[in-house]
Amino acid sequence: MKSNRLFDVAVLLTVLSLCLMNAHADDVAWIQDVQLPPKEPSSFSVGTMLPLLERSDGTPVSSLNDWKERRKEIQSVWETFLGPSPTFPKNNDMTVLKHETIGEITRDLIRYQCEQDPDLYVEAYLLRPIKTDTGKGRPGIVALHHTASASIDEIAGLSGRPALFLGPKLAERGFVVICPRCFLWQDSPSLPKAVETFRERHPHSLGMRKMLFDAQRATDILAAQPDVDPSRIGAIGHSLGAKEVLYLTAFDDRIKAAVASEGGTAFGSTNWDAPWYLGPQIHEKTFTRNHHELLALVAPRAILILGGETGPGAADGDRSWPLIAAALPVHRLYRETSRLGILNHHLGHTFSEDLFERSSNWLETYLKEVSDPK
């Protein structure tokens, strides 16, 4: 009798073990590693962080339904702060300016209408595998470039450092990738002049509003491609591109998985006060927003922050942990194993081949044909 009970216990433990394995089978194997606090808390101050699970009147948010209402409140405040959005064009037409075949992928330089103004266009590279897809549509990636005079050339693999050839490398992995040119380098002699020109058209909107709009517009073009599954779109970016990824993922639910490398999640980590981002008002005492709110808006979708602290020029790392930690409880309202984390590689403000492998593993895992809880 005793041996039968031991057998029953063993079977029960096996079943429980399998259940746990199945519960996490759709996550990257290293998910828990990027959700651990640093061994030593950082002395860096991330600034004010208003409670996420508390309404503006002080009442607690204790359920997922409560959070969904609170989410609307937070998003509305941020939308107002960023200013009015430009108007989206009514079509997703594009012109192919140049077509190339590179090994097993193609790379097209395209042009499409940006804002509703018929004279406003933007250029991007669109990369895709040559091999025919399965008929279900490929996952798509919005790849946002870093600060560079060549703008989209490096991320699209035309010149520069191979580690940052994100477009062709992801296309070789089976993604369709769009690499749009940031408005700061689109027909403008300087960054300040680009902001000035935009504000002449939209005087009450921030530079970050324009970056968000343009990233959403690129998402429109990508999602309209006949070989793309619009339910499986991700985003990736380094430095300036990572800043855009954070905002795009927070404000556009079409982005199901994202990697933001060294964008500087905390306001004080980098130049968020520049006119092409949020401006000097983030230093005013009356400004109480912080990026833990955007990380929470992403839930339950997947976002990975890559940080290089304590390497040279790092903008993310242990210092960013308080913002991650504040948003994790919101993600866990949706699922026990949240899909928010930070990987501190200690290499500084860079993006290496090893980090590309981690990033592609993250994107491949969370852009599989699975549905997220709503």
pLDDT tens digit sequence for 162-183: 999 999 999 999 999 999 999 9
Are residue 234 and residue 95 in the same domain, yes or no? Answer: yes
Give the residue with greater pLDDT, 24 vs 195.
Answer: 195
Q: Look over the chain and give the mean of its residue pLDDT values, rounded to a whole number.
A: 92
pLDDT in tens, 250-295: 999 999 999 999 999 999 999 999 999 999 999 999 999 999 999 9
DSSP 130: S
Are residue 65 and residue 6 in the same domain, yes or no? Answer: no
Are residue 9 and residue 136 in the same domain, yes or no? Answer: no
pLDDT (average), residues 7-12: 37
**What confidence score (pLDDT) does residue 108 get?**
98
- Is residue 374 included in any domain, yes or no? no
Is 263:315 a contact under the CB 8 Å cutoff? yes
Range of the domain at 336: 36-366
Cis bond before residue 300 (omega within 30° of 0):
yes
Are residue 198 and residue 95 in the same domain, yes or no? Answer: yes
- Is residue 318 included in any domain, yes or no? yes
- Is residue 371 included in any domain, yes or no? no
Q: What percent of the chain has pLDDT over 70?
A: 91
Q: How many domains does the chain have?
A: 2
Q: Residue 274 belongs to a domain with what CATH number?
A: 3.40.50.1820
Are residue 3 and residue 128 in the same domain, yes or no? Answer: no
In the beta sheet, which residues pair with residue 100? 107
First vs last C-alpha separation in the chain: 47
**What confidence score (pLDDT) does residue 12 get?**
36
Q: Which of 134, 151, 319 is nearest to 227 (CA)?
A: 134
pLDDT (average), residues 223-231: 96
- Could you give the CA distance from residue 360 to residue 287 in angstroms, rounded to a whole number? 36
pLDDT (average), residues 201-214: 98
Are residue 20 and residue 160 in the same domain, yes or no? Answer: no
**What confidence score (pLDDT) does residue 14 get?**
37
